């Protein structure tokens, strides 16, 4: 293990999420692959996020902080600039990451892939299992989409594509679509994270995110990355324009927005996919620990502590 150039730079933006810091660190400590650094950027929090980060006695944890809240795009871009690993790993602070997640990414890297992604268990804010997100072809036929928090990729490639610091939402569209269309990726048909989607769902954020995604899609088309043809591009623009009109109209009565959310596509799992019992046990363990804020790793089950030898 090289402390100056670890295999993975795990990058996390956080804003007023002090309650999730130790839980997220617990998931990192539970990983079966241990050659990582954690670049966690406090995006101008007003709670005690940074004090909790400084209390973690682990040289692999590298917290950064600036005073003014600048949004996730800025925080992710800042984190990439601090990263010194071989691959970057998206690690959102409120999600649950299963112990095999980094080992699977290390295997993908060893096999010569440029990025990898996976399925995600959908969790409620109480960490109850609500369903599964897989891989979805969006309505405009632009690309196959995966859930951003499941992504890992070559760090140089991540820095080349980057995150737009001007976007507070939808900042991940560029890297998602660019990787999916232009790079060699391993699409892992297994759930490696628990995605707490409920905290992400609200009408103002959906509007901001869709505006950013629409702008990015048009930019990628003109760059030739979304090589979908002029007719498909015209359909995409019409579809997105209509979607934004609907979202803006929903401001009149926001509760209707949740009805549209419930109709979103989650993708279809491979017919051979079956939830692994050990993964479900780990989710249950995290849920139980959440009730008492018990984030000590001293009692971790042995199967979660078998360190991978993949390099």
Residue 2 pLDDT: 52
Whole domain around residue 176: which residue ranges? Answer: 8-292
pLDDT in tens, 231-258: 988 988 998 899 899 999 988 888 787 7
Domains contained in the chain, number: 1
Tell me whether residue 311 is in a domain. no
Query: CATH code at 268?
Result: 3.90.550.10
pLDDT at 221 over 70: yes
Take residue 120 and report the two structure tokens written for it.
């995600």
**Contact present, 193 and 98 (Cβ < 8 Å):** yes
Residue 300 pLDDT: 45
Tell me whether residue 119 is in a domain. yes
Tell me whether residue 309 is in a domain. no
Least confident span in 18-22, 247-251, 257-261, 268-272: 257-261
**Contact present, 141 and 232 (Cβ < 8 Å):** yes
Residue 265 pLDDT: 65
Q: How many CB atoms lie within 10 A of CB 230?
A: 8
Hey, CA dihedral for 64, 9, 197, 142, is it positive or negative? positive
CA distances from 162 to 60, 179, 184, 186 (A): 23, 11, 17, 20
Tell me whether residue 2 is in a domain. no
pLDDT in tens, 147-189: 999 999 999 999 999 998 888 888 898 999 899 888 999 999 9
Q: The whole model's pTM is what?
A: 0.87
């Amino acid at each position: 293990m090289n402390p100056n150039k670890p295999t993975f730079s795990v990058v996390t933006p956080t804003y007023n999420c002090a309650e999730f810091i130790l839980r997220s660190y617990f998931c990192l400590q539970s990983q079966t692959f241990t050659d990582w650094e954690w670049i966690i950027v406090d995006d101008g929090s007003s709670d005690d996020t940074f004090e909790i980060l400084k209390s973690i006695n682990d040289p692999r944890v590298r917290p950064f902080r600036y005073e003014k809240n600048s949004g996730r795009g800025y925080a992710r871009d800042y984190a990439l600039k601090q990263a010194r690993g071989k691959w970057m790993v998206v690690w959102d602070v409120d999600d649950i990451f299963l112990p095999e997640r980094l080992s699977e990414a290390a295997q993908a890297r060893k096999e010569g892939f440029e990025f990898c992604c996976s399925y995600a268990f959908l969790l409620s804010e109480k960490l109850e299992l609500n369903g599964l997100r897989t891989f979805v072809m969006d309505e405009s036929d632009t690309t196959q989409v995966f859930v951003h928090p499941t992504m890992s990729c070559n760090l140089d490639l991540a820095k080349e594509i980057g995150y737009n610091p001007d976007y507070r939402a939808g900042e991940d569209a560029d890297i998602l679509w660019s990787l999916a269309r232009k790079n060699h990726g391993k699409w892992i048909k297994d759930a490696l994270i628990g995605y707490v989607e409920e905290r992400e769902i609200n009408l103002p954020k959906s509007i901001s995110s869709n505006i950013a995604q629409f702008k990015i899609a048009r930019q990628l088309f003109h760059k030739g990355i979304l090589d979908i043809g002029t007719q498909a591009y015209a359909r995409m623009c019409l579809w997105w324009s209509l979607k934004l009109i609907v979202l803006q109209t929903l401001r009149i009565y926001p509760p209707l927005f949740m009805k549209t959310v419930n109709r979103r596509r989650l993708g279809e799992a491979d017919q051979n996919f079956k939830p692994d019992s050990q993964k479900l046990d780990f989710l249950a363990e995290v849920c139980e620990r959440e009730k008492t804020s018990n984030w000590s790793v001293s009692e971790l089950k042995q199967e979660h502590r078998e360190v991978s030898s993949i390099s």
